[in-house]
Chain A
Amino acid sequence: MVEEQVEMLLNGDFAVAWAWKHVEPDVVAAFPITPQTLIVEKFAEFVANGEVRTQFINVESEHSAISAMVGAAAAGARTATATAANGLQLMHEILYIVSSMRLPVMMAVANRAVSGPINIHCDHTDAMGQRDAGWIMLFTEDAQEAYDTTIQAFKISENPDVLLPTMVCLDGFLVSHTAMNLKVFGNPKIVKDFVGEVRPVARIKLMGEEVELSLNPRNKIPLTFGPFCYYDYYFEFKRQQIEAMKAVPEIVERVNKEYYELSGRLYGNGRLVPWNVDDADIVAVVMGSAAGTLRWVARKYRERGTKIGILKVRMFRPFPWEEVQKLLENKEVVAVFDRAQDAGAMVGPLSLEVLSALYYSKNRPKNTVTYIFGLGGRDLTPELAEKTFEELIRIKEGKEKPFIKKYIGVRE
């Protein structure tokens, strides 16, 4: 049954803050950094007004913010933080610790270019720098999806088969500061029932006893978190993380579906959101807000009979490569739109994933190209999108040679 919801005008940052308000995490620690600042500002307001019971820890850096998450989450708390760009880079070393300690931390990342030169606008380079940190990574297209995905993230992370942190990415300014009509649940209890009133704490077998996987002094056997580990066992622990990641795709799908039943909003199968991909000759693969712009432009082409499809990648980690492979089978042209730096790499990070998947495909697309776009907030306007679609059509028709990668919107 779809629950009652309230329509509001909220930007992506406020949407995340509202999602937190409805989930009411036990502990939030964050350090402000544009374009994430509005999240913590708004949430701090909720805390100050007594609208939530969350412990809000003021910290002196992002490194401390994420470290506070480690302690709180290890103690069994439901935790959330938010950051962007250089703040995320400062968290880098701790991110691996969070995932290896199997702490279900929720983190919102308002994607921003990484300095230098200093830039505050959107690209995905900051998140891509963390792609191997063992976190689940979900990318959102607009403020509504940011609200919905933030709520879902808690439930995905806290699943006992997963116990991995989730990063919810929202494009800086394009989502974080763009207000839109969106719906939030009228009754926070709906959200609390969905994620669970309190964070479920996993239980593990230890020395013949079943104990809570937490720093709980009432545990029959006290646990040590984060000890030294030799080469004789480190690899085995990493192997466990790989296994946990394997459980994620199904959980993401299930949570997406359960959430749909409450909200009426469905994001594909939770992992990928294909738009007219099945019959398409040309498919654009993209993450974040640009998916909306490309879809908007593709609609016009569809009306004219040009078969363009858009494949929005919502879940970047774990990367749903088998599905991507399947969806892109036998396509005439696949174009990956990558909003991250690629210096020294063959293509951008999203494209590397797609190309790897396609390498093992028995029915590879005829042409696969990569566009690097939008670095440091360079706009992907509908006009630019149209130009690239025209180019893709020419490639399809054999009028233009395919290429490995090109840059959209940069002055050459």
Chain B
Amino acid sequence: MQEDKPFEIVFLARGGQGAWTSSILIAQAALRAGKYAQSFPEFGPERSGAPVKAYARIHDKPIEIHAGITQAEIVAVVDGTLSHMAKDFIRDKGAIVINTSESPAELKKKLGIPESVKIYTVDGTRIALETLKRPIANTAILGSVIKVLEELGVKYLSLNDLIYAVREVLGGRYSEAIVKGNIDAVERAYKEVRGE
């Protein structure tokens, strides 16, 4: 991994599952942590249910690159059915976080993920159903991403920064109950995510 470069995250999801919101939330959290961030969707005609991508970059200096991310440090798979796409975007020694009920070891074998790439799983949809009463796992995935950042030793942002961002961004759009549900999802996924 090259040193002086932004930390890059790719979110894989389906239209309507909040991939873009995920990347905005993580960028907002980075901003709160005093870092520089970039967040953007891989945009297309908006089709609910179609595979979509969103990107985030975090760095401790202004980010000059304006291009999609082809090789990320973290690939966060918001929709488990897209987990086969993850290895196309992961950098060597990166980490893949997948929303699934399966175990990391099982999945790693199934997807043919190289040994040098770490894999984490979290049952984000179940967490979302329990906290939000809806199968929207984007904030749950973010909670696990924070945990993975810690495990990778990346100190750009903390769980508190993310919770602050959830309040800040979702608070303007949704009711307090929904915001609270999302924060619960973040916290639970942070605890429940499993590595190999």
Contacts and interface: CB of A to CB of B under 8 A. Distances in A.
Given A120-B43, A173-B43, A293 B64 contact: yes
Contacts of A173: 40-41, 43
B1 interface: no
B45 A120 contact: yes
Interface string A180-209: 110000000000000000000000000000
B41 A177 contact: yes
A289 interface: yes
Contact of B38 (A7, A180, A290, A382): A180
B25 to A, nearest CB: 10
Contacts of A142: 66
Contacts of B43: 34-35, 120-121, 173, 177
B42 to A, nearest CB: 8
B77 to A, nearest CB: 22
Contacts of B64: 292-293, 295-296
A62 interface: no
Contacts of A11: 39-40
Contact of B66 (A7, A292, A383): A292
Given A9-B37, A181-B36, A181-B37, A175 B66 contact: yes
**Interface size for chain B: under 10, 10 to 19, 20 to 34, or 35 or more residues?**
20 to 34
B63 interface: yes
A380 B67 contact: yes
Given A178-B38, A180-B36, A290 B66 contact: yes
B68 interface: yes
Q: Which of B27, B38, B66 has the most CB of A within 10 A?
A: B66
A381 B67 contact: yes
Given A35-B43, A177-B43, A180-B37, A9 B65 contact: no
Contacts of B45: 120
A141 B68 CA distance: 15
B101 interface: no
A382 B39 CA distance: 17
A179 B39 contact: yes
**Interface size for chain A: under 10, 10 to 19, 20 to 34, or 35 or more residues?**
20 to 34
Contacts of A121: 43
Interface string B30-67: 01000011111101110000000000000000111111
A292 B31 CA distance: 20
A104 to B, nearest CB: 30
A121 B37 CA distance: 22
Q: Which of A34, A171, A180 has the most CB of B within 10 A?
A: A180
Contacts of A175: 66
Q: Which of B36, B37, B41, B67 has the most CB of A within 10 A?
A: B67
Contacts of B44: 120
Interface string A1-25: 0000001110100000000000000
B24 interface: yes
B147 to A, nearest CB: 23
A9 B37 CA distance: 8
A382 B71 CA distance: 11
Contacts of B40: 11, 173-174, 177-179
Given A179-B39, A179-B40, A9 B28 contact: yes
Nearest to A180: B38
Contacts of B160: none
Given A9-B39, A35-B43, A120-B43, A178 B66 contact: yes
A309 to B, nearest CB: 15
A181 B60 CA distance: 12
B70 interface: yes
Nearest to A172: B43
29 contacts: A8-B31, A9-B28, A9-B39, A11-B39, A34-B43, A35-B43, A171-B66, A173-B43, A175-B66, A177-B43, A178-B40, A178-B66, A179-B24, A180-B27, A180-B38, A181-B31, A181-B36, A181-B37, A181-B62, A292-B64, A293-B64, A293-B65, A295-B64, A296-B65, A379-B67, A381-B70, A382-B65, A382-B67, A383-B70
Given A9-B24, A11-B39, A178-B38, 7 more contacts: A9-B39, A120-B43, A173-B40, A180-B37, A292-B64, A293-B66, A381-B70
